[in-house]
Amino acid sequence: MKLVAIIFVVFALTIAPSYQDTVDPNAACGQEGVYYAQGCSGLVAALLRSDWKHTSAYRRGAAIGSNGRYRATPGTIVGFSGHVAVYIGHADDTCNCMFIDVPGPKKRARCLQSYGSQTVYKYYY
């Protein structure tokens, strides 16, 4: 019975998906002004050095806040329905913003201070 349990655990760990939820906030700040054909998800994929995924493929986690009050670690992948970005939280003086964001496909990354009353969630790639 123990052998079956060990085999099951090894098998489960092998096929269980691995999600990433953070990137280097300094690298994210360095993307301001960079053009992304795939928009916000292109930014996150580039920072993770991963294949591009549509935002619908991301998994939503807990809320981090709204109205300029956010609780997350700098570099956390965040977003809301149909959109992902990177939380910076003023972690880097060269960036001086709360989020690095791409407003849509074929747009450039920008620095944002808030998403207003929109509730922002932690996301997993």
Domain parsing of the chain, residue ranges: 19-124
SS3 42: helix
Strand partners, 86: 77, 100
Pairwise CA distance, residues 29 & 96, whole Å: 9
Pairwise CA distance, residues 89 & 75, whole Å: 8
The model's pTM is 0.81
Give the burial class of 82: count Cβ atoms within 10 A of its Cβ; 0-12 exposed, 13-18 middle, 19 or more buried.
exposed
b/e for 1-27, b at 16 or more Cβ within 10 A?
eeeeeeeeeeeeeeeeeeeebbbebee
pLDDT of residue 95: 81
Cβ atoms of 91 and 51 within 8 Å: the answer is no
pLDDT of residue 20: 85
Q: Please state, as a whole number, how many other Cβ atoms lie within 10 Å of the Cβ of residue 74.
A: 20
Q: What is the pLDDT along the chain (125 residues), one digit of tens a residue?
A: 554 444 444 444 444 445 789 999 999 999 999 999 999 999 999 999 988 877 778 889 999 999 989 999 999 999 998 899 999 987 556 688 899 999 999 999 999 999 999 999 999 88
Q: Please state, as a whole number, how many other Cβ atoms lie within 10 Å of the Cβ of residue 43.
A: 25
pLDDT of residue 58: 84
Amino acid at site 42: G
